[in-house]
Structure 1
Amino acid sequence: MSTLLRSCLIIFLLLQSMWAQASPTVSVYYGKGASLSELALFDISVIESEHGYDPVAYRKAWPSSELYAYASVAEAGLERKYFAKIPEAWKMARNGAWNSIVIDQTPEQWPAFFAEEVIAPLWNKGYRGFFLDTMDSYRLAEKFNEEDQQAGLVRVIQKLNERFPGIKLILNRGFEIVPRVRDQIQMVAAESTFRGWDASAKRYIDIQPKDREWLLGQLQTISKRDKLPVLSIDYVPPHDREAMRETAKKINELGIIPWVTDADLRTLGMGLVEAKARRVLILHNGSEAPVLNKTAAHRFLEMPLNYLGYIADYADIRQKLPANVTRDRYAGVITWFDGSIPDKRIKDVRDWIKTQSVQKMPVLLLSTSGFPINRSLPFGANHTEITPVHPLKKVKESNLYNFETKVLAPDNDYEGWTLTPEILKQSEELLSFDDAKGKHFVSAAVTPWGGFILNPYLIEEVPGVDQARWVINPFSMLQKTLRLADFPVPDITTENGRRLLLAHVDGDAFPSKAELPGTPFAAEVLQREILERYRIPHTISIVEAELSPKGLYPQWSQQLENIARRIFKMPHVEIASHSYSHPFYWEESNQKSTVSKEVNLNLNIPGYTVNLDREINGSIDYIRKNLAPPNKPVEVFLWSGDTAPSAEALAIIDAANLLNLNGGDTSITRSNPSLTAVGSWGISKGGHLQVYAPITNENIYTNLWHGPFYGFEKVTETFEMTGAPRRLKAINIYYHFYSTTKVASIKALHTAYQWALKQDNHPIFVSEYVHKAKDYYEFAVAQNGDTWIMRGPGHLRTVRLPASLGTPLMSSSHNIAGYQTGPDGYYAHMAGGAAEMQTVGTIPSSEPAYLVDANARIQDWAAQPDGSLSFTLQGHVPLEWSMKLPQNCNLSSAKNDISPAKALVNQPNIRVFRSSQTSAKLEVQCRARP
């Protein structure tokens, strides 16, 4: 090591601990794929402004983070809007590697031009920070005066500070001018301390030691002399996350802010903060199911992925497969084919999968490969040349097996894979057999490249009934094969430690007559028997054609509309639409499915054929104009029929800023005790999200309303089985108006409500649940050393901690209001859309006060260094909550309207409180310890 480099290292290491506290975290990302929540993981995110970001809205949502706009000072790309205004005389040279023009910095008018044409439009959009690039590009010209060019750059910086008071600037290089502008800039960046990109050769390179020494000398001088933080942007192939991680670590050890990314800055790289890749790409054959909702991968696999914290994206192999599937976005790739894929697609699919594997993307093949697996793939596997000789003898069986049904002996058509000795040595066999000649066949394994689980040892269909069972533990299977590490999982089942409770009613049969004295309308019975008795949040919908004077029952329309108005006035009722004509099919391709003769395409309205806009916007408009009280919103749409809307229908929902729910069909019971009967959070089509109802409706429990009509009582089994041993779903009481037409079904409703209200629940409206579900798909989680960083739009406020992560350490966490023990780990409560959390194995005795659980939402959370707290609980029902209060702390309310504290017998520091109000402003005051 040279003397210069050794000196640089010593100085940097001495300053490192100070910088770790003072220096911000920075990302530089010019792509379009990252969510705003992911950018908010960093104190500063440098972005390409032309991608449509709103810095004002961003700043309001995440005040601890700021978007900085990229701006090129000494170069201009031909695509920039201001390029045509640049005089020819200012153009010094061409940068062929980036297809841009080098701009002379010496013209007197240049600083004003740059300020008004480049920065002012961005400033007017709300940007207050800027990353100034290409500071040294004048050196690409054949002739230039160094001092004059640098003086021009100084004038640019001065002009920006004069024209835009409070502007924040990061310079990319421009080392020589830093002493003259150090009071006018925030940070200095440089590229390629350890790893770089050769734009001419189009390849990644290692930086030569002499070049690194020179660069470190420049950065050390700026840090020591000018007291400015310095940033290094290094370039590594995007699939090589380990190299990225190691490079970021080396940069950080020198006391420099690290950012390591790809050459085009199109992937979300890493620095001290490393975001978790939360997406998994699933390949399927779209010809195997009429709609995406019906595919095996979606029906069975997406729920376990969601539970583990991951989002499923789908790619239909009949279409061109996606490019740039990178490790910053995706944790793995899964294929699930139920048979052979078309011959014409085999080569493309094989090549695509090979590319992913070569680029270190974990690949999991499920069910059947769909195409021949041989030695041409980097899998070390073969299933095309060898047929096993029966009988087969079981050799290995992992404890992941026999999850919901036992492993059966292989059938005569058994197909296993033979693995090369090298791959076999590096793999963990989960299930394998030897044939009669001693040949070894593997049915399931964790391999160096990912893994495979072959039929029939994945899911077993139950003969004679429409049921299935997992043969293998799907959660462990996914974690082991895709190498999924534990992290705080955004959770939509829970808030503030209590399981969410929502109730909603589909509008079908609003006008039906109940089999009760006087034959009242079903809606009247619902109001009397349910809504007036159970004053928890309800979301109630109607089908327009059943109520409107122009609909099916004009003779009753006035009565029916009046009933709807009375229901919609109730303060604990949220208004929703269940469409205009109740379409059974929302996607044309699904209409070709074989269905019961009893299914109608929609209500029989003379002269009307289904129109998506009429069904959605038209029905919402009818309710707003005719049924909803003034100033009460109508923003929820509940899908009807097969609840499988097309991408077009979902796009209409999003364009109208509506919220949607229904589908999913979660109906696990003791007679069907399988996770295959538990749906996912939702499904995305064409970039639009359908949110599923947590639990299915009474139609399933009553044999499509053929009876038994008390069948909905079994929904309590579903509530129990989706609550433990894993909390998979919120409690959702979901039914139709026709459930209030029969004595048996009314009793079943009371059973469901009474069970739910005995639990420690957190009641919410459907709209609140849908917002949380949508947040799940935008939520970002990252790690900075031993600190977890969470960012989300703010509706989803709970993260579940797998057992391996331990317990939240309240004294070292920020914006974590508390935690509660759940059936499957700790549930930590975020007090807003942003939080940082540390965890610990053993809870220290000196932990401060925190919220254990509550049936209401946290607002205005503020924690003081002495342990004092102030916050508001806002709910829909009389408040219940509990707190861990050290002996030196007391809780009080602004209105003094809470019951005396009741301590738990086995946990004396945890106190239980109640209030007859639905809102309370609370304070925890702590005396100094003796």
Structure 2
Amino acid sequence: MTAPPAAMPRTVLALYHPAGNEIRYHLLHAVAEFPMNHLGMVVRYHNVLEPLPDPDTLPGLRAVVTWFRGARLDDPAAFLAWAGGLQARGVRFVVLGDLLFAGSPDDPAIRAPLAGFLAGLGLRYGDRWISASYGVTFPVRDARMMDYERALGGMLQEYPVVRPTDPTDPAVRSWLVARYDDDPDLDSHLVVTGPAGGFAAAGYEVFTEDSGYNPASEDLDPDGLRAWLLDPFLFFGQALGLDGLPRPDITTLTGRRMYFSHIDGDGWNSKAELPGYEERGAIASEVVMREAIEPFPDLPVTVAPIAAELDPDWRAVPQSQDMARALFALPQVETASHTYTHPFHWDFFADYTPEKEAPFVAALEASGQLNTYGSAALDQEILDIGEADLSKKYSRPRAFLDQPFDLDREMGGAAAFIDRFAPADKPVRLVQWSGDTKPYPEALTAAREAGLLNINGGDTRFDGAFPSVAWVSPNGRLVGPPDQEERQIYTAASNENTYTDLWRGRFFGFRFLTETLDRCESPMRLKPINVYYHMYSGSKVASLNALLHNLYYARAHPVCPVTTTHFVTIVDGFYDTLLIPLGPDRWRVSGRGALQTIRFDAATHRAVDMVASEGVLGQRHYQGSLYVALDPAVAAPEIALMDWPTPDRAPPGTPRPYLIESRWPLRALRRDGDGDGLTVQAQGFGDGAMAWQVPPEAEARVTARDAGGAAVARLSARADRTGRLAYALPPVGLDAVEVHLALARPS
């Protein structure tokens, strides 16, 4: 009996040295993981000082990646033996930074295994180290790879002499070769990719300012400069052997860039300082509802109060609960939780006792700050209390300290309390992490066991102040071994806090979010549009205007708006997706959850064979990539590709209509018996703009029916000369509708 085909390996095991502070500031997570996520890879972490995992426990392992700068191992020979065993199984190794992480090559105990490991990469060590870089030139400096965001120059980093084992092997490609003192015998190949992985020497992969990392820990300065010297998408794509392979995509749905928005409840009860509101004592949450939510029924938003700010026994004011009821009643508003007491520094509570928190309570009470929000007071006297390890951003462990901390209350308790103010069909399904957004493992587990999805953290910026893709965050953070893994899902963009110096000035700053949104769309789509902010943005004229600027930006772009929980389930699906090759240019997609887009890069001359595929709604070519829209109603769709030599015309062999793009998410596509029509389920926000590929100049009748079968919209449309049939249904899709498209071919 023939064994079923195995899924394409998508796991990259990242080995890190634990000398630093936390994984989210490690080069691997903060800088390298996002490009690998974008290429479809799932990155899992392992402490290199702990016992190395048994290869048999690593199913789906595609590669091991390391990025050490000065770190050394206690037993390099054991590490090299383990690595050699994985290489023998076909697992790739990608080495960034120190190549000699395994120890000194002069140590007789490791000379042979080190040589064997390097040979597996197609490299050999040249027994030299170049420390005087003033005499270095670059006889090979491939512009396709190098000088991506910053050009090599100035004082160059010292480096080892490394060469290909077989200089004539075309499969091992050298992208950067350094020559010392004009002597070819001292050439070193500093950026190399091949069929077994890749290598990029320290100082030639990414630029960080001098204070940007601890050489022993690979930690980044969170505020330090960083920029890629090599193209990370090209480098990892080549080193991981990903050319032509499918990528699960979290940016796009039904052919359009996704949009989602969520609000952390901070400042719910803040006094509004705006004309027309201040005079009557209105609070910020009312301003946000009246000015930024009610006028935008086409843009869904997830609202997450802090339960303590709605609870009269904690910090509620008379309007607090009324505003919650009014907000949650709006059809475009989704209900969520921002915890009960708003922890600022989550690690503080990993080993919580009331006694540990008592000095903060006493000091805050003595200074008159106990009952103030105080998120960024930076009171040095309070910061210096005891041995508490608090982030220097916060002067207290959590916003509200009236009662001892209770993790169950923060998760399920907060959700249940907030549910009191929401319609029965809108229960809380999501917790939005507070404070430093770094929940400890037990907090992630508590959220999951309370039935809650989760989001926050990441804080992507890509603008004039953070001018590098190295500031674009990964999809999330995986915590724990695979069999006990918890996931923290990151936002797709930063909130107004990072633009306003933690809400201490420049209250107009959030308007610059659109620069990040632009850079994350062109020249390649990196992230969906995410407008993420706090309720206190409704307290000031400048901050409200900045928020409205971003909302009008989103409204002006062709997006597919979704709720925040929908986005989170899509990212969850990214981690679970199985891509099973069925033959040349054919894949089955399973286990994907809510993820409904598969992307192929460098695919201008490739197209979906719609006749040979199953469970595919449609396709769209954009920026050289092919975005394939899957049908959520089909559990295991199959994608078949074909050559498409004429991208200026519709792909050949596609007599059946297929989707190009839609503002509304679609599902359950059924074709008419004659192939000239179709029916599809649709539900979404705003107008139902859609475009289908049909025969050129075909005429169409479009009917939308509600759940009872009554027609709620009818229109006629005509395709253009290329076969693009575009129309917009009125905003009737908030409740699901059935859309029927009937074609009449031109005579």
TM-score bracket for the superposition, by shorter chain length: 0.7 to 0.9
2:59 aligned with 1:303: no
Aligned with residue 872 of structure 1, among 681, 684, 687: 681
Aligned with residue 550 of structure 1, among 299, 313, 323: 313
Cα distance in 1 between the residues matched to 2:509 and 2:235: 35
Q: Which residue number in structure 2 is paired with residue 914 of structure 1?
A: 729
Equivalence map 1:392-411=2 (5 Å): 392-399=136-143, 400-408=145-153, 411=156
My pick for the range that moved more, 483-492 or 917-926, is 917-926
2:242 aligned with 1:484: yes
Q: Which residue number in structure 2 is paired with residue 578 of structure 1?
A: 338
Aligned with residue 789 of structure 1, among 583, 588, 613: 588
Is the Cα contact below 8 Å between 1:794 and 1:834 reproduced in 2? no
Aligned with residue 24 of structure 2, among 268, 286, 293: 293
Q: 1:738 to 1:811 in 2, by over 3 A?
A: same
Cα distance in 2 between the residues matched to 1:718 and 1:396: 33
Q: 1:488 to 1:360 in 2, by over 3 A?
A: closer
Aligned with residue 174 of structure 2, among 408, 429, 444: 429
2:290 aligned with 1:528: yes
Cα distance, 1:825 vs structure 2: 1.3
Q: Which residue number in structure 2 is paired with residue 892 of structure 1?
A: 702
Identity %: 27
Is the Cα contact below 8 Å between 1:291 and 1:589 reproduced in 2? no
Is the Cα contact below 8 Å between 2:660 and 2:691 reproduced in 1? yes
Cα distance, 1:386 vs structure 2: 4.0
Report the secondary structure of 2:28's partner residue.
helix
Is the Cα contact below 8 Å between 1:819 and 1:828 reproduced in 2? yes
Cα distance, 1:914 vs structure 2: 2.0
My pick for the range that moved more, 492-501 or 564-573, is 564-573
Q: Which residue number in structure 2 is paired with residue 823 of structure 1?
A: 623
Q: Which residue number in structure 1 is paired with residue 558 of structure 2?
A: 760
Aligned with residue 853 of structure 1, among 661, 664, 681: 661
Q: Which residue number in structure 2 is paired with residue 647 of structure 1?
A: 441
Cα distance, 1:769 vs structure 2: 0.8
Once the two structures are superposed, residues 229-283 of structure 1 have per-residue CA deviations (whole angstroms, 9 ceiling, x without a partner) of xx2xxxxxxxxxxxxxxxxxxxxxxxxxx32xxxxxxxxxxx5x45211111111
Equivalence map 1:646-725=2 (5 Å): 646-686=440-480, 687-725=485-523
Aligned with residue 638 of structure 1, among 432, 435, 438: 432
Cα distance in 2 between the residues matched to 1:900 and 1:926: 12
Cα distance in 1 between the residues matched to 2:80 and 2:600: 37
Report the secondary structure of 2:715's partner residue.
coil
Cα distance, 1:533 vs structure 2: 1.1
Is the Cα contact below 8 Å between 2:164 and 2:189 reproduced in 1? no
Is the Cα contact below 8 Å between 1:423 and 1:447 reproduced in 2? no
Once the two structures are superposed, residues 692-743 of structure 1 have per-residue CA deviations (whole angstroms, 9 ceiling, x without a partner) of 1111101111222122111100011111111121111111110001111110
Is the Cα contact below 8 Å between 1:372 and 1:383 reproduced in 2? no
Q: 1:860 to 1:389 in 2, by over 3 A?
A: closer
Cα distance, 1:922 vs structure 2: 2.3
Q: 1:917 to 1:589 in 2, by over 3 A?
A: closer
Aligned with residue 775 of structure 1, among 573, 578, 589: 573
Is the Cα contact below 8 Å between 2:343 and 2:434 reproduced in 1? yes
Report the secondary structure of 2:628's partner residue.
strand
Cα distance in 1 between the residues matched to 2:26 and 2:663: 37
Q: 1:906 to 1:418 in 2, by over 3 A?
A: same
Q: Which residue number in structure 2 is paired with residue 132 of structure 1?
A: none
Q: 1:447 to 1:727 in 2, by over 3 A?
A: closer
Cα distance, 1:793 vs structure 2: 4.3
Q: Answer 1 or 2: higher relative contact order, Cα 8 Å, separation at least 6.
A: 2
Is the Cα contact below 8 Å between 1:858 and 1:872 reproduced in 2? yes
Q: Which residue number in structure 2 is paired with residue 53 of structure 1?
A: none
Q: 1:299 to 1:287 in 2, by over 3 A?
A: same
Q: 1:545 to 1:386 in 2, by over 3 A?
A: same
Q: Which residue number in structure 1 is paired with residue 383 of structure 2?
A: none
Extract structure 1 runs of 4+ deviating beyond 6 A: 589-594, 927-930
2:608 aligned with 1:808: yes
Once the two structures are superposed, residues 408-458 of structure 1 have per-residue CA deviations (whole angstroms, 9 ceiling, x without a partner) of 2553x6022333654785732222222236422232212563221112111
Is the Cα contact below 8 Å between 1:681 and 1:691 reproduced in 2? yes
Once the two structures are superposed, residues 829-865 of structure 1 have per-residue CA deviations (whole angstroms, 9 ceiling, x without a partner) of 1112421122222211653211221111223321356
Once the two structures are superposed, residues 633-687 of structure 1 have per-residue CA deviations (whole angstroms, 9 ceiling, x without a partner) of 1111000111111121111111122110111111111342210111111111120
Cα distance in 1 between the residues matched to 2:606 and 2:10: 21
Cα distance in 2 between the residues matched to 1:333 and 1:421: 21
Cα distance in 2 between the residues matched to 1:676 and 1:522: 35
Equivalence map 1:202-217=2 (5 Å): none
Q: 1:881 to 1:421 in 2, by over 3 A?
A: closer
Report the secondary structure of 1:577's partner residue.
coil
CA RMSD of aligned residues (A): 2.6
Cα distance, 1:792 vs structure 2: 3.2
Once the two structures are superposed, residues 92-119 of structure 1 have per-residue CA deviations (whole angstroms, 9 ceiling, x without a partner) of xxxxxxxxxxxxxxxxxxxxxxxxxxxx
Bigger radius of gyration: 1
Q: Which residue number in structure 1 is paired with residue 378 of structure 2?
A: none
Aligned with residue 329 of structure 2, among 562, 566, 569: 569
Q: Which residue number in structure 2 is paired with residue 751 of structure 1?
A: 549
Is the Cα contact below 8 Å between 2:610 and 2:654 reproduced in 1? no
2:429 aligned with 1:612: no
Q: 1:677 to 1:901 in 2, by over 3 A?
A: farther
Aligned with residue 336 of structure 1, among 67, 81, 88: 67
Q: Which residue number in structure 2 is paired with residue 172 of structure 1?
A: none
Is the Cα contact below 8 Å between 1:541 and 1:578 reproduced in 2? yes
Report the secondary structure of 2:502's partner residue.
coil
Cα distance in 2 between the residues matched to 1:777 and 1:335: 21
Cα distance in 1 between the residues matched to 2:424 and 2:743: 46
Q: Which residue number in structure 1 is paired with residue 206 of structure 2?
A: 459
Cα distance in 1 between the residues matched to 2:597 and 2:169: 42
Cα distance in 1 between the residues matched to 2:191 and 2:433: 39
Q: Which residue number in structure 2 is paired with residue 364 of structure 1?
A: 94
Equivalence map 1:135-534=2 (5 Å): 231=1, 258-259=2-3, 271=4, 273-288=5-20, 290-324=21-55, 329-341=60-72, 343-369=73-99, 370-372=101-103, 374=105, 375-376=111-112, 377=114, 378=116, 379-380=118-119, 381-382=124-125, 386-388=129-131, 391-399=135-143, 400-408=145-153, 411=156, 414-419=158-163, 421-422=165-166, 427-436=172-181, 438-447=185-194, 449-462=196-209, 466-516=224-274, 517-518=278-279, 519-534=281-296
Is the Cα contact below 8 Å between 2:574 and 2:592 reproduced in 1? no
Cα distance, 1:623 vs structure 2: 1.5
Q: 1:738 to 1:677 in 2, by over 3 A?
A: same
Aligned with residue 398 of structure 2, among 590, 598, 602: 602
Is the Cα contact below 8 Å between 2:578 and 2:592 reproduced in 1? no
Cα distance in 1 between the residues matched to 2:531 and 2:131: 51
Cα distance in 2 between the residues matched to 1:286 and 1:483: 29
Is the Cα contact below 8 Å between 2:496 and 2:509 reproduced in 1? yes
TM-score by length of 1: 0.67
Report the secondary structure of 2:336's partner residue.
strand
Report the secondary structure of 1:713's partner residue.
helix
Q: List alignment gaps of at least 5 residues for structure 2.
A: 106-110, 212-222, 351-386, 645-650
More helix by percentage = 1
2:658 aligned with 1:863: no
Cα distance, 1:528 vs structure 2: 1.0
The count of residues paired between Structure 1 and Structure 2 equals: 654
Give the counterpart letter for 2:327 in structure 1: I
Give the counterpart letter for 2:693 in structure 1: K
